[in-house]
Amino acid sequence: MLASPRVGAESPKDECGLFGVWAPGEDVARLIYFGLFAQQHRGQESAGMAVSDGEHLLVYKELGLVSQVFNEATLTTLQGDLGIGHNRYSTTGSTTWENAQPAFKTDGIRSLALGHNGNLVNTLELAERAARAGGATTDSDLVATLLARFGDGGLEAAALDVLPTLEGAFSFVMMNERSVFAARDPFGLRPLSIGRLTNGYVVASETCALDIVGAVFVRDVEPGELVRIDDRGLQSTRFAESPRQALCIFEYVYLARADSRLRGRTVYEVRRDLGRRLAIEAPADGDLVIPVPDTGHSAAQGFAEVSGIPYGEGLMKNRYVGRTFIQPSQTLRERGVKLKLNPIPEAIAGKRLVVIDDSIVRGTTTRQLVQALREAGAAEVHTRITCPPIRWPCFYGIDMSSRSELIASDLAVEEIRRYVGADSLGYLSLEGMVAATGQDGGEFCRACFDGEYPIPIPEYAGKFLLENPAKS
């Protein structure tokens, strides 16, 4: 299996995965399929793609995993030389077919398709200014509506007109009948990379998707850059200056796949270093270091390396049950951990465990996990988290949008420890997390940890804003 969906004990929900390709003569639908398959972990509620043969744009999307949405028959009908694809986890709007992407708009002559990763924060202003929100139920659909006003310059001119008016986090892949476009917000909150094929280009949220289709990494799409790819080659236009770089640091901690590279560093390397630093900052007396699969693996190895405590498997992930991501609700989230993470009594009985996980959001599933480990015979459970406490909501595309959902927003570490029932609880510091990336801390968004939002957040922002402002 190529995809690697992660289920931590207390992981926040993922965002979205993007893929775009321009490669005449290739089976682009199949390239998009595998590009999405490699990025399944970024969104598991719906999948879709749009392709064009140069004249007509076809869109196919459905709720479900990539492997459930597409089959040989559908891929065979999606013939073309260029296309885009999208995996969705809803950070705005509900999980419905209408909200699945790519969004598609046409005026009967010209068409466009758009995939979005991120979350806009000035959605109401955009809707009011355009007076076109009408049926738009997501910020992505609103952008597609604004772009579809086209004008004489077509999609490229429309993009250069609309993109500077957007505030928030966005990486976009877009297309019309002849060109693929990629754009990234001026802060570069969400990743987007360009790769080269022998006869074309691809763009993807993560470099693991470039690897899988045999593309060679060229560079990242720059913050504030619009890239056009077509038979004129790859052309870059800047639509906005970048005030500062603010890549989401959580991409390294949890979101991205371990074999992806962000700013030249493999996520695996960074996670391993998170574990090494955690062992120094929050040491534990234990007999066995175990990861919470899958993101905990690299960090647990780093923790074991520095602490000298043996590393082992203590939790088995069931890869074959339905994923909670398909229909996020508190009930499913709470059941999810039991369905997916099962302790191995023979590996852990009588042992003092050091359990390495990527984050604690609500605390409810960490609590269940600690209890399950004890029931399976663990003598002690020492929980170690590879990032600082998450105290602030994310408005940029990760589904932690209210402070009341976050256990660390009003509980101290010792209170959280008591709630989850661990014998000890330790977090990595903000400084330790940044140091593990090997980069300047000022070049990241770290808002969910320190409350310093690189882009100001309006009071009304929320997930269901366009559907029902009262729910936001």
- Catalytic residue annotation: 16
Nearest in space to 49 (alpha carbons), one of 23, 81, 87, 91 = 87
Q: Name which of 189 and 304 has its Cβ closer to ligand SF4.
A: 189
Neighbours of 342 (CB within 10 A): 14
Cβ atoms of 28 and 229 closer than 8 Å: no
Nearest in space to 38 (alpha carbons), one of 256, 307, 244 = 256
Q: Name which of 277 and 374 has its Cβ closer to ligand SF4.
A: 277
* Interface positions with ligand SF4 (CB under 6 A): 189, 248-250, 394, 396, 398, 445-448
Nearest in space to 1 (alpha carbons), one of 148, 147, 212 = 212
In the complex, the smallest distance separating the C-beta of residue 255 from ligand SF4, rounded to whole angstroms, is 8
User: What are 341's strand-pairing partners?
Assistant: 317
79: tokens are: 């013939």
Counted residue by residue, the chain has a size of: 472
Cβ atoms of 249 and 445 closer than 8 Å: yes
Cβ atoms of 158 and 149 closer than 8 Å: yes
CA of residue 378 relative to chain centroid, distance: 33
Q: Name which of 310 and 451 has its Cβ closer to ligand SF4.
A: 451
| Strand ranges of the sheet holding 380-385, from the earlier edge strand across to the other edge | 288-291, 352-357, 380-385, 424-427
In the complex, the smallest distance separating the C-beta of residue 126 from ligand SF4, rounded to whole angstroms, is 20
In the complex, the smallest distance separating the C-beta of residue 246 from ligand SF4, rounded to whole angstroms, is 8
CA atoms within 13 A of residue 270's CA, in its CB half-sphere: 30
Q: Name which of 143 and 394 has its Cβ closer to ligand SF4.
A: 394
Peptide bond into 164 cis (omega under 30): no
SS3 466: coil
CA atoms within 13 A of residue 343's CA, in its CB half-sphere: 21
Nearest in space to 391 (alpha carbons), one of 444, 443, 454, 452 = 452
Q: First CA to last CA across the chain, in angstroms?
A: 37
In the complex, the smallest distance separating the C-beta of residue 416 from ligand SF4, rounded to whole angstroms, is 18
In the complex, the smallest distance separating the C-beta of residue 295 from ligand SF4, rounded to whole angstroms, is 14
In the complex, the smallest distance separating the C-beta of residue 250 from ligand SF4, rounded to whole angstroms, is 4
Cβ atoms of 132 and 146 closer than 8 Å: yes
Backbone angles phi, psi at 182, to 5 degrees: -135, 140
In the complex, the smallest distance separating the C-beta of residue 360 from ligand SF4, rounded to whole angstroms, is 14
Nearest in space to 465 (alpha carbons), one of 188, 141, 60 = 141
Alpha-carbon span 142 to 147, nearest angstrom = 9
Q: Name which of 34 and 449 has its Cβ closer to ligand SF4.
A: 449
Q: Name which of 252 and 311 has its Cβ closer to ligand SF4.
A: 252
In the complex, the smallest distance separating the C-beta of residue 407 from ligand SF4, rounded to whole angstroms, is 16
Q: Name which of 248 and 292 has its Cβ closer to ligand SF4.
A: 248
Q: Name which of 14 and 45 has its Cβ closer to ligand SF4.
A: 14
Peptide bond into 220 cis (omega under 30): no
